[in-house]
Amino acid sequence: MAYFFGISANQPVLRLTRQTYIENKPVTHYESYLSPIVPIDDQKDMNGSMYDVLQKSGYPITRVKERLTASIMNAKEKEMFGIHKNEAIINRIRMGYSNDIAIEYTYSKYVATGYELVIDSK
Give the pLDDT of residue 44.
66
What are the structural domain ranges in the chain? 2-111
Query: Rounded mean pLDDT of the chain?
Result: 90
Of the candidates 30, 6, 17, the residue with the CA atom closest to the CA atom of residue 102: 6
DSSP state of 100: T
pLDDT digits (tens, 9 = 90+) for 49-86: 888 889 988 999 999 999 999 999 999 999 999 999 99
Mean pLDDT of the 36-57 span: 82
Query: What pLDDT, on a 0 to 100 scale, did the predictor assign at position 52?
Result: 87
Q: What is the pTM for the complete model shown?
A: 0.87
What pLDDT is stored for residue 120 in this prediction? Answer: 83
Here the contacts of 53-56 (C-beta below 8 Å, separation 24 or greater) are 54/96, 54/98, 54/103, 54/104
Task: From the options 3.40.1190.10, 2.40.160.40, 3.40.50.720, 3.40.1410.10, give the CATH code of 2-111.
Answer: 3.40.1410.10
- Note the pLDDT tens digit of each residue in 2-28: 999 999 999 999 999 999 998 899 999
